[in-house]
Structure 1
C-alpha cells in the first residue's frame, strides 16, 4: 500500500486536471475520467487499484446518496412524485425484466436469476453523469427536478432487485411471498430507520454543545450510520440514507448554525468531488482485472463485447420506450386528473429517454458480487457480468454523454412556465424581504431605529432595495437586533418556499445562503 502512495496522489492530481479540462472543453467529466482510466491502466507498471467488493457500497454510496438528498428539493420531489415514482420504480423494474429475458435468451449459461442480477446492476441511470452534462446546457426546471428525483430513488429500487436476484442465484430458488414480505420490510424499514437516525442526529446537533467542526463530523458520520444500521437489519440502506438525508435537509435551518451550513457545504463539495472522481477513474482502471477474468471463463473478448453492446441496446431502447410510454399515459391521465399535462409534446420524452448514462451505482453493484457463493462454488459468470457492466457504462457515457448536449440544443425544449422567471423571482423576494424587515424594525425596535445610525442605514438600504458591502462597527445590542431580523428573513423565505409552488427553491436557497453570509459578517463586525 505505502509503496503505491505516490501513485494514488498522482491519480488525485490527474483527476483534478481532467475535470478542469472537461470544464474548459465543455465535456462531462465522467466521460474523460473513464477514458483516462483506460489509458492509465495500459501504461506498463501501473499498480492495480482494487477495493474489497464487500466494502464498495459502504465507501462510496452512503455519502454520494446523502449529498444528493441534501441538495434535492423536497418540494420539487413531491410535486413531480408521479413521474419520478414511475421512472424510479416501474421503469427500473421493467428494465431489469427486459435485461433478464434478453440475457437468458442470448447469453449461454445465463439463468433467469443471473439475468436479474445483471438487470439490477445496469437498470439505474447515473445522476452524476446527467448533472455533469446538464450544467453545460439550459434545460427546463421540471426536467432537472425529475432527473434529480429519479436518481435518488432508482438506486434503491435497482439494488432491491439486485439483492433478491443474488439470493435466487445463491439458493437456486425464489419464494415469492417471502420475497414480497422482505420487499415491504426493506422499504418500510429502510425509510423508518433513516428517519429515526436522522431525528437522533438532529436532536444531538440541537441539544449538545456542538461547534462547527463537530457539526461537520456529525454530518460525515450520519450517512454511514444510516446505511449500516439499515443493512444490519436487512432493510434498504439506500432508502435509509435518502429518507434521512431529505429529512435533515428539510430541517437544516432548525438545528445547524449559519457557520456550520456554510463550512459544511464546502467540506461536502470537496469530499463528494473526490469520491465521484475516484469512482469514475476506477471504472477505467478496473478493465485489466475484468478482461483477465474473461479468459478464465473461456469467453472471447469480441464475444463478451457483443453481449455488452446487446445489453446496452436493450437499455437505451427500453428507456426511450418508457419515456414515450409515459407521454401516452400522461395524455390518457389528463382526461381523469388535473395535474397531468394534456399536450406534453415529444421533445421532453426524447431528451428524457436519452439521459440514460450508467455510472457509480452500477459499478458499485457489479464489484460487490462475491467471488464465490456461500457453498464455496465460484459465482457463475461473475467476470462476464463485470465486463458487460463496464461496456454498458462506457458506451452510454461516451455515446449518450457526448451527444446529449447537442440533442438538447437541437430540440429546443419549451419553457413550461412551472416557475416564475429567475429575475422576477429574485426581485419579488428582495421586495418582500425589504418590506418584512422594515415592518419588523418598526414593530419591535422603533426606539432603536430612531436613534441608531446603523439601523437607519439598514432601513434606508431596504427602502431603496439596495445592497451594501460596507463594513461598519456594530454595537452589541444592534447585533442582537440584526440577528433576530436575519432569523425573521430566513423564516419568511422558508415559509414562502413551502407555500408557493412556482417559487424555484434553488433561488430561495441562494438567498438563504446570502443571509448565512450576512450573519457570518455580523459576527466579525
Structure 2
C-alpha cells in the first residue's frame, strides 16, 4: 500500500511540475529534476533507493522503440554517414575527453571509472530537444541528423559504459578483445533486431484488436532487448533495429485503429517513463548528498567536478561537430561521400542541440552500488542534464531564429508536395471505385467531388507558413462550431449517445490532424 501511495504521489508531482513548466515556458526536464530534488529534501521523505539491474531493462526498451517507431527511415538512410559520425564519433570523443579532464581534476579516481562517467554523459537526447524543436522549423537534414544520432548514440555510450564498468570492477582491460567484442555486440544486435522485427511483423499482421496489438508490441520490445542481452549482444541496437523495421512497415501491416491507438499509447507511456526518470534522479540525490556529508566535502568532491564535466560536454560537442564538418568537406573534395556538408549555421545549431536526458539518467542509475565514484556519476548526470537543458535548451530556439534557419523554401516545397499527394490519393480512390460505380453511384460522385476539391486546393495553395497556420486555425474554429451543435442536440434529448460518440469521433480525428499541423 505504501508503494502504491508513493507512486500516486510521484505521478501527482509530475503533473504539477509539468503544468508549471509548460505555463512558465521552462524546460520540463530541468523542472522535474529540480522538483524531484526538492521533494527528496522534504522532512519525512525517505531517500530513494533504485535497483540498478532493473532500471535499463524496464525503462530503456520502450523509450528506444518509441524513438525508432517514429523515425523517418528514408531520411535516416540518406544521412547515415553523418549520423554515424555524430552517434559514434562524437560519443567516443566526448567520453574520453571527459575521462581525461576528470582524471586530471580527481587523480585518485581510477581511469575506468572516469571513462564510465564520460560514457554516461556523452550521448545527447533528442527527446530533451524535441520540446524546443517543436516550436521552430529546421531544415529536414538537420532534424534527420539529430534524431538519427539519438537512436544510435545510446548504443555507443552504453557499450562503452559496459566495458568501463567491467574494467573498473575487475581491473582487467584488453583493448583488442574489447574491439572484437564491440563488433560482435553491434552486428549481432542489429541481426537479432532484424529477425525480431520481421517475426513480430508476421504476428502483428494477424492481430485485429488494438489492445492485443499494443500488448504484443510491449512483449516484442522486452524480448528484443532481453533476448539480445541474454545472447551477449547489444540489446539497444536490437531494440532500435526492431523498432525501425516495424515502424517502416506499419502503414501496410497495421490497421488504422491500431496505428492511432498505438501512437497514443506510446506517447503516454514515454511521457510517464521520462517524467518518472527525471524526478527519480532528483529524488536519488538525497542519498548522494547524505553520504557526501558523512564522508567528504560536497563542494570539492561533487559540485566542482560535476560543473567541470558539464562544461567539457558542451565544449567537446562543438569541437567534434566543427572538426568533423571540416573533415567531411575535405573528403567531399576528393569525390567521396554523398550530399552536401552542413552549412556553418546548421553546424552551429547541431553543436548547440546537445541536451542530455533520459538515457544519461538511465545509465547513471544502472551503475552497481559497489562501483567507486557512483555518487559522483549521479551528481554529474544531474548537473549535466540541468546545465544543458537550462542553458542550451532555453537558448536553442532563439539561436535558430537568429541564424534564420527556418527554411521557407523547404516549407513551401513540403506544402506543394502535400497538395500534389492529396490529388494523387484522391485519383487513386476514385479509380478504385470505377468497377462498382453503377452499384454505388453516390459514393463514386462523392469521391469525384473530393478529387475536384483536392485539385482546386493544390492549384490555389499559398506556399507560406503563415497561410497554413491561418488555414488550420480556421479549420479548428469550424470543428468547434460543429461539436457545439451536436452537443446541443444531445443535451436537448434529440441525439442518442451512440450517435453523438460516433460523430464526435469523426470530429476528434479532424481536430487531431489540424492541431498536429500547428506549431505554437
TM-score by length of 1: 0.83
- Contact 1:294/1:384, CA 8 A, preserved across alignment: no
Question: What secondary structure is seen at the aligned counterpart in 2 of 1:447?
Answer: coil
Superposed, which structure 2 residues align to 1:489-500 within 5 Å?
A: none
Per-residue Cα deviation, 1:397-451 (whole angstroms, up to 9, x for no partner): 2222222222222222262856763321221111111222233333x334335xx
Aligned counterpart for 2:368 among listed residues 364, 367, 370: 370
CA distance, structure 1, for counterparts of residue 199 and residue 295 of structure 2: 49
Structure 2 equivalent of residue 503 of structure 1: none
2:189·2:234 contact (CA, 8 Å) conserved in 1? yes
Does 2:14 match 1:22?
no
Q: Contact (CA 8 Å) 2:136, 2:406: kept in 1 or not? A: no
- The aligned residue for residue 44 of structure 1 is 43
CA contact (8 A) 1:15 1:33 kept: yes
Separation in structure 2 between the aligned mates of residue 417 and residue 168 of structure 1, nearest angstrom:
51
More divergent stretch after superposition (59-68 vs 279-288):
279-288
CA offsets, 1:269-289, max 9 Å, x none?
A: 111111111111112111111
Contact between 1:283 and 1:390, CA under 8 Å: does it hold in 2?
yes
Distance in 2 (CA, whole Å) between partners of 1:385 and 1:285 is 15
Paired with 2:337 and 2:258, the residues of 1 have a C-alpha distance of 42
Residue 195 of structure 1: CA displacement? 1.5
Distance in 2 separating the partners of 1:50 and 1:223:
26
Equivalent in the alignment of 1:84:
83
Whether the aligned pair in 1 keeps the contact of 2:137 and 2:407 (CA below 8 Å) is no
Deviations 1:174-229 (A, max 9, x none): 1122212211110111111112122221112234x552211111012221111100
Is the contact made by 2:208 and 2:255 (CA closer than 8 Å) also made in structure 1? no
Task: Determine whether 1:448 maps to 2:448.
Answer: no
Q: State how far apart, in whole Å, the 2-side matches of 1:21 and 1:299 are.
A: 34
Alignment of 1:107-506 (within 5 A): 107-207=106-206, 210-335=208-333, 336-337=335-336, 339-341=338-340, 344-372=342-370, 379-413=371-405, 415=407, 421-442=413-434, 444-448=435-439, 452-465=441-454
Matches of 1:445 and 1:326 in 2, distance apart? 59
Q: Which runs of 5+ in 2 are unaligned?
A: 458-474, 483-508, 514-520
How far residue 5 of structure 1 moved from its aligned partner, in angstroms, is 3.1
Given the superposition, is the C-alpha separation of residues 86 and 416 from structure 1 closer, same or farther in structure 2, using an over 3 Å criterion?
Answer: farther
Offset, 1:119: 1.2
Distance in 2 (alpha carbons) for counterparts of 1:253 and 1:407: 36
- Tell me how far apart the structure 1 counterparts of residues 230 and 412 of structure 2 sit (CA, whole Å): 45
Q: CA deviation at 1:236?
A: 0.7
Task: List per-residue Cα deviations over 1:137-180 (Å, max 9, x = no partner).
Answer: 33222222211110000000010101111111122121122212
Q: Distance between the aligned counterparts of 1:179 and 1:415, measured in 2?
A: 44
Q: How many residues align?
A: 462
Deviation at 1:355, TM superposition (A): 1.3
Distance 1:384 1:35 in 2: 17
Farther off after superposition, 349-358 or 234-243: 349-358
Cα pair distance change 1:297/1:185, threshold 3 Å:
farther
Does the 8 A contact of 1:294 with 1:301 survive in 2? no
Structure 1 unmatched runs, 5+: 373-378, 471-512, 518-525
CA separation in 1, counterparts of 2:128 and 2:344?
23
CA contact (8 A) 2:33 2:281 kept: yes
Change (3 A) 1:222 1:417: farther
Check conservation: 1:31, 1:401, Cα contact below 8 A.
no
Higher RCO (CA < 8 A, seq sep 6+)? 2
- Supply the RMSD in Å over aligned alpha carbons: 2.4
Change in 2 beyond 3 A, CA 1:198/1:286: same
CA distance in 1, matches of 2:23, 2:294: 42
Following the alignment from structure 2 to structure 1, what is the Cα–Cα distance between the partners of residues 12 and 416? 42
Structure 1 residue 18, shift from structure 2 partner: 2.6
Alpha-carbon distance in 2 for matches of 1:392, 1:25: 22
1:508 corresponds in structure 2 to none
Alpha-carbon offset, residue 309 of structure 1: 1.0
The list of structure 1 runs, each at least 4 consecutive aligned residues, that deviate by more than 6 angstroms after superposition, is: 466-470
